[in-house]
Structure 1
């Protein structure tokens, strides 16, 4: 499938010290004439490499995924009416680029966004079962009709219909090594612990959402339910490794599920820490 000439789509990429990834990411968007990089004050060669591709460069301190992306929607004047969002450790194959160009040309005004399925890679392999594939994530949208909530794993709030693309993007979360993944998820676990406190306080769980036809709503409901269950790390491991068939992904699947279990355990420990701190303040 060839890419139509000059698709009316801008590209937004978030970066923080991505010199190892940014060139390969930008190579995927040779068809785009408006690539915007929103950087979180990188200290490596990310800017130097990115500017070789003629990108528009913006900088601001990182203060959570949702607020970062909402800032971009409010302060960046994109050239085109559609924006495709990518992280630097993601790749857009030619078939997805062609589909992006096609659907944005044909979309009716009622359609405000499209979900794109993600393929996660670990130890050189695609690991579909233990990553919950297919997992549709809003990546293509009209910038004036979307905003996000939550610091980590932000939830899109879209003003309009959401379509589904058939093609997929590829994600390499370990492209900068295991140590980087652990450091990043150490930060994310703090955000998730804070979100857990907020969710429990707000009573944001609706059991009917567990059977919603919208898989994003179902996923959000499962997340809210998990906040309320004991033994969360063990349950997450059993869900992905046993129920979702992660054991069929071989050794990489087992190790990935154990890493996810570790991440969930960090969230539980930090939640306990937050509760203990709140209790100590009340006792003073």
Structure 2
């Protein structure tokens, strides 16, 4: 185990890039969790609040780029920025680093068994870690600049162009996904629903590798289940039942119940966006 002195003296071996858009209420807490990092870069999507000023005031390099999607924005950072280090961790302003994750990142750089890593997230809602209902969500967030890129999928991004395989970290970053409140959550998820509805129409069950449900990694199983869910009737009700009962979301208490309801509503958003899209095509 590392004590506090060891942590403070730990050599830093990677850069951090943060995507921002109107994050004046979240950015400082994020920066406080990575104050040990000597190369933090902000990619801002032309915020209209004080995000740009806050970043500059804290001595960070700030670049602005029009937001198209997450993959494009992260690739823009990889292709444009002259980072201090060969390894980069991609963070969002409502996410916080932990000391355990920092230690593990430095460790895998030394080993260099893989050139990119899936990183788990702890989903935090109103101060509660949604251990059961949200489960463990992995995304490729940490990689050597020359060893991986991003591609857009639905409203998120996936890894591509892997040159030295894909590993998986054990320690998670913390995601405070409800930091901007109910109104912002609804607005954001309506946008996500449009992207998911468009992606749903591209899903071909004949091309799904069902074997991954048995032999695949956890993130591969999750992707197959997501593709199957697109074709499932009564999706909002099934989503709630799956998260609250089958995944033991009830163990997360009242917050877990409310989160499961929110995810069920989001599934309904996707269905409504799909119906709306078809109606507009008539």
State the TM-score, normalizing by the size of structure 1: 0.91
Match of 1:191 among 195, 198, 208: 195
- Encode CA deviations 1:104-142: one digit per residue, 9 max, x unaligned: 12324xx1112222111112211111102x333222111
Whether the 8 Å CA contact 2:139–2:158 is kept in 1: the answer is no
**Residue 111 of structure 2 aligns with which residue?**
106
**Residue 19 of structure 1 aligns with which residue?**
24
Q: Does 1:160 align with 2:168?
A: no
Match of 2:261 among 238, 246, 258: 258
Calculate the aligned-residue CA RMSD, in Å.
Answer: 1.7
Q: Does 1:246 align with 2:236?
A: no
The residue correspondences of 1:42-81 to structure 2 (distance < 5 A) are: 42-81=47-86
1:18 and 1:226 mapped to 2: Cα distance? 33
**Residue 137 of structure 2 aligns with which residue?**
135
2:206 and 2:30 mapped to 1: Cα distance? 40
1:204 and 1:271 mapped to 2: Cα distance? 22
Whether the 8 Å CA contact 2:118–2:169 is kept in 1: the answer is yes
Whether the 8 Å CA contact 2:88–2:142 is kept in 1: the answer is yes
SS at 2:236's partner residue?
A: helix
Whether the 8 Å CA contact 1:11–1:86 is kept in 2: the answer is yes
State the TM-score, normalizing by the size of structure 2: 0.91
Whether the 8 Å CA contact 1:6–1:31 is kept in 2: the answer is no
**Residue 145 of structure 1 aligns with which residue?**
147
Which segment is superposed worse, 14-23 or 231-240? 231-240
**Residue 223 of structure 2 aligns with which residue?**
220
Structure 1: give runs of 5+ residues left out of the alignment.
Answer: none
Question: Post-superposition shift, 1:151?
Answer: 4.7
Which segment is superposed worse, 253-262 or 121-130? 121-130
Residue 69 to residue 151, structure 1, CA distance change in 2 (3 Å): farther
SS at 1:57's partner residue?
A: strand
SS at 1:114's partner residue?
A: strand
SS at 1:230's partner residue?
A: coil
Whether the 8 Å CA contact 2:236–2:265 is kept in 1: the answer is yes
Question: Post-superposition shift, 1:224?
Answer: 0.9
1:218 and 1:32 mapped to 2: Cα distance? 34
4+ residue runs of structure 1 moved beyond 6 angstroms?
none
**Residue 120 of structure 2 aligns with which residue?**
117
Structure 2: give runs of 5+ residues left out of the alignment.
Answer: none
Question: Post-superposition shift, 1:203?
Answer: 5.2
SS at 1:44's partner residue?
A: coil
SS at 1:131's partner residue?
A: coil
Question: Post-superposition shift, 1:66?
Answer: 1.8
